[in-house]
Amino acid sequence: MSFQTRLAAKDFIVLAEMHTPKGINISRLVNDASRLKGRVDAVVIPDMDNGIMRMSALAGGVLLQQQGIETIMHMYCRDRNRMALQGDALAAHVLGIQNIIVAHSTDMSESDHSDAKPVNDLDETELIESLGTLQKGKDISGFDLDGSPDFSIGCTLAPFSSDEELAASLTAAKAQIAAGATYVVTPPIYSEEGCSELLEKTKHLGVPVIATVFLIKSLAIAQYIANSEPGAKISDDLIRRIRKSSNREQEGIKIAAETILALKENAGGVLIQTLGWEHKLPDILEAAKL
């Protein structure tokens, strides 16, 4: 069953995130993705996420579609103007990608090309609206299209570290939902503790909320996130648990699986984010009984 059908049926959605290579070696991407075939509803392909220049999401998405794996392509506004964005959206449809997440982008100053000129011709809400316009057979300037594309469109909830920031993120998400997004993807959740609060605060959005579950790969990462992200809810107990574990990698997988299980009752789905450990995705799915 396709991602769109399962989303419409309000089934629990399971997504996995996979990055394109910084280069042209696609073997890892294709191999890791092929191991997920039939086990996830779709693979999410970020574009130049975290500000790292890499192969475009469009190419990555098409590659996986060719392998028979449904993909969701990220689009955002930092690097492309309205013409390039619309052109890519049309190309994506023609090449078999029908799912788009309009994502927040890392600021250019934090990218690996910090001297580049940011574009930001449209904002995320305008991009979602313009994708809707394309679906109605027009471009942003009102010119007719020769055949219109069809997309499912999701949006992201911007990261937040305080209640004030969360309120701003929710306001932006509401605008994006009003503009045409049919589901929302949250910032990373690191453990079971973060689940209920986030779901409580996002339930009024009125669309499926897909929670991003982040795989904690090491004690150092857990400590770093706990110290640098005030809203991360990585408790001392969790850090102690990882430290005491005889197999910390496995412990991280178990924590991710527990988080997924905790989300299963009330979330619209999960997006599993492993940032470089995509080969561990089958283990996480196994541990989460998915």
Partner 1 sequence: MITAERKPLEELIEYIKPFKRILLLGCNECVTVCSAGGRKEVGLLASGLQMAMLKSGNNIEIRQHTLERQCDPEYVEELVPMINDADAVMSMACGCGVQEIAMRFKDKPVFPAVNTTFMGASERQGVWAERCQGCGNCLLGETGGICPIARCAKQLMNGPCGGSVTGKCEISDDVDCAWQLIWDRLKSLGLEERYMEITPAKDWRSGGGSGPRKIIREDLAE
Q: Provide the binding-site residues for partner 1, judged by CB under 8 A.
A: 107-109, 114-118
Q: Cα(139)–Cα(87) distance, rounded to whole angstroms?
A: 10
Residue 29 Cβ vs partner 1, minimum distance, rounded to whole Å: 28
Nearer to partner 1, 109 or 227 (CB): 109
Q: What three-state secondary structure class fits 53?
A: coil
Residue 106 Cβ vs partner 1, minimum distance, rounded to whole Å: 12
Residue 105 Cβ vs partner 1, minimum distance, rounded to whole Å: 13
Q: Cα(128)–Cα(131) distance, rounded to whole angstroms?
A: 5
Nearer to partner 1, 116 or 140 (CB): 116
Nearer to partner 1, 108 or 261 (CB): 108
Q: Cα(155)–Cα(99) distance, rounded to whole angstroms?
A: 11
Residue 65 Cβ vs partner 1, minimum distance, rounded to whole Å: 33
Q: Which amino acid is located at 282 in the chain?
A: P
Q: Facing residues of 71 across strands?
A: 43
Nearer to partner 1, 114 or 227 (CB): 114
Nearer to partner 1, 109 or 218 (CB): 109
Residue 53 Cβ vs partner 1, minimum distance, rounded to whole Å: 13
Nearer to partner 1, 53 or 91 (CB): 53
Structure-token match 């399971």, residue found: 14
Residue 26 Cβ vs partner 1, minimum distance, rounded to whole Å: 27
Nearer to partner 1, 122 or 253 (CB): 122
Tell me the DSSP string of 123-148: -HHHHHHHHHHHHTTB-TTSPBPSS-
Residue 222 Cβ vs partner 1, minimum distance, rounded to whole Å: 30
Residue 51 Cβ vs partner 1, minimum distance, rounded to whole Å: 12
Encode 131-162: b = buried (16+ Cβ within 10 Å), e = exposed. bebbbeeebbeeeeeeeebebbbbbbbbebee
Under a CB-based contact definition with an 8 Å cutoff, are residues 60 and 30 in contact? no
The distance of Cα 30 from the centroid of its chain, to the nearest Å, equals 18
Count CB-CB contacts under 10 A for residue 19. Answer: 25
Q: Cα(46)–Cα(101) distance, rounded to whole angstroms?
A: 9
Under a CB-based contact definition with an 8 Å cutoff, are residues 100 and 75 in contact? yes
Q: What is the four-CA torsion angle of 121, 152, 74, 175, rounded to 10 degrees?
A: 50
Nearer to partner 1, 78 or 93 (CB): 78
